[in-house]
């Protein structure tokens, strides 16, 4: 008898595309995240979303809010809430540095992407960011359109 082959495709990284449009990125930090077993399987299958998520600091701990992880369909033991708060794993010194940076007016913590490192651990790339004004967003769109036009012209010649 032939063995069954797994047809599930694993995702390389989950991006928060909206973050780079909405915010000006000042600094980035790579952190670990505390998850339960079935949540890791869901993220490997790409059933997670970072849109509308953000990080906060409570009682000297960093928490990721609004990260959507769809429950793993083959796990029937514990049903977890899809948008629950998840703890980010950082050293106390790193948390203190981040806290002093974001104490400035208008700065926030935004996740940019979730990825698996070489050891197979899920990591979150967190950014210290400042919200963009409407005219900054328009400039971003204009630069992107100009870049596309230049690429099209290069392909023609």
The pLDDT averaged over each successive group of 10 residues in the chain (157 residues) is 55 85 91 87 88 92 91 73 88 93 88 91 93 84 92 89
Q: In this predicted structure, what is the pLDDT of residue 151?
A: 93
Domains within the chain, CATH numbers bracketed? 13-132 (2.40.280.10)
112 alpha carbon, distance to own chain's centre: 4
Q: In this predicted structure, what is the pLDDT of residue 148?
A: 94
This prediction has a pTM of 0.77
Q: Is 75 left (phi over 0), alpha (psi -120 to 50) or beta?
A: beta
Q: In this predicted structure, what is the pLDDT of residue 59?
A: 92
What stretches of the chain adopt beta strand conformation (E)? 13-15, 23-33, 48-49, 54-58, 61-65, 68-69, 86-89, 107-116, 122-131
Q: How far apart are CA 40 and CA 42, in angstroms?
A: 5
Q: In this predicted structure, what is the pLDDT of residue 5?
A: 52
Q: How far apart are CA 68 and CA 50, in angstroms?
A: 7
């Amino acid at each position: 008898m032939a063995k069954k082959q797994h047809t599930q495709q694993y995702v390389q990284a989950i991006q928060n595309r909206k973050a780079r449009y909405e915010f000006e990125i000042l600094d980035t930090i790579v952190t670990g995240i505390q998850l339960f077993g079935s949540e890791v399987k869901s993220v490997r299958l790409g059933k997670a979303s970072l849109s509308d998520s953000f990080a906060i600091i409570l009682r000297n701990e960093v928490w990721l809010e609004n990260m959507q992880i769809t429950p793993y369909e083959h796990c029937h033991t514990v049903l977890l809430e899809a948008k629950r708060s998840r703890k980010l794993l950082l050293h106390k010194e790193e948390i203190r540095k981040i806290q002093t940076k974001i104490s400035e007016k208008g700065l926030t913590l935004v996740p940019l992407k979730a990825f698996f490192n070489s050891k197979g651990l899920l990591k979150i790339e967190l950014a210290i960011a400042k919200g963009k004004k409407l005219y900054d967003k328009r400039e971003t769109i204009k630069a992107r359109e100009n870049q596309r036009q230049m690429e099209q012209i290069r392909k023609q010649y």
